[in-house]
Copies of this chain bind each other. A is one copy, B any other.
């Protein structure tokens, strides 16, 4: 971790990129939202593909990985860090002490869910996120009267990685996982893992038209915009530059990254950046 003396002034900091990390590609849903809301901002992305998934690992291990990832982004130079991984946000955010702001996706996701619900929210996420009850706590802190039901969906990430994103088998798996939440008549479903928005079409079929699907990406981007403004470190106008690092050279990243950025582009009109990957050791 770098010391305070190494920190740039607000003016210099404004030109630094925003650091974003995730265990893999899922965090690119957040990158898409940031690009739409803050087109002037450069982004330095780190996908910890050598150690993914985080969602079935212990708090201790997820905390160790998260700290290493933030250290890496700090060393490269960023003005803030967005923890785009729900599992890392749920388990590791409280332990981080750095001289730049670090924002997780749980609070924005909880805020979006509270804004959308009539009173009964379902949360789907990885096992570690569900075990932490981070969404439940964040929602009840805002609105104690809201009922929250949770369901871990450990097969969703591998299904997305396998590319079975609009598929009869994926639908059956979603039906099995969501049955208890639907039986309890949830009106809002939080997609509590950055991979899950890729399964939106299947999830929509399973939950029907009346249940609201909520994820953190857009709310996260609003929060980042507001915070950069308050701190006077918003980027000056000019061409934003995005840089993508991964800890393993797996073949999946580039393919799914392209799917993700295409699927989440507004009206498919947003230009998809060519993804050039730098392999790093963290």
Residues of A that sit less than 8 Å from B by CB: 49-51, 56-58, 60-61, 154-155, 157-159, 161-162, 169, 172-173, 176, 247-250, 252
24 contacts between A and B (CB under 8 A): A49-B57, A50-B51, A50-B57, A50-B61, A51-B51, A56-B250, A56-B252, A57-B248, A57-B250, A58-B248, A58-B249, A58-B250, A61-B247, A61-B248, A61-B249, A154-B158, A154-B161, A154-B162, A155-B158, A155-B159, A155-B162, A158-B158, A169-B173, A169-B176
What's the nearest-Cβ distance from chain B to residue A128, in Å? 9
CA distance A204 to B72 in the complex (A): 47
Give the complex CA separation of A176 and B162 in angstroms. 13
Can you name the residue of chain B whose Cβ is closest to the Cβ of A49?
B57
Q: Indicate if the CB atoms of A161 and B56 lie closer than 8 Å.
A: yes
Residues of B within 8 A of A247 (CB): 61
CA distance A176 to B169 in the complex (A): 10
Report the nearest B residue to A248, measured CB to CB. Answer: B61
Contacts of A155 in B (CB 8 A): 155, 158-159, 162
A81 to B106, CA, bound (A): 43
CB neighbours of A50 from chain B (8 A) = 51, 57, 61
Query: Shortest CB–CB separation between residue A166 and chain B, in angstroms?
Result: 15
A228 to B56, CA, bound (A): 37
- The answer for the CA separation of A49 and B250 in the assembled complex, in Å, is 19
The distance in angstroms between the C-alpha atoms of A17 and B61, with both chains bound, is: 28
Quick one: which of A58, A157, A159, A252 has the most chain B CB within 10 A?
Answer: A58
* Highest count of chain B CB atoms <10 Å: which of A49, A158, A161, A169: A158
| Top 7 A-B pairs, shortest CB-CB distance | A158-B158, A58-B249, A61-B248, A50-B61, A57-B248, A58-B248, A154-B162
**Chain B residues whose CB sits within 8 angstroms of the CB of A157 once the complex forms:** 158
- Cross-interface CB contact of A169 among B56, B61, B172, B248, cutoff 8 Å: B172
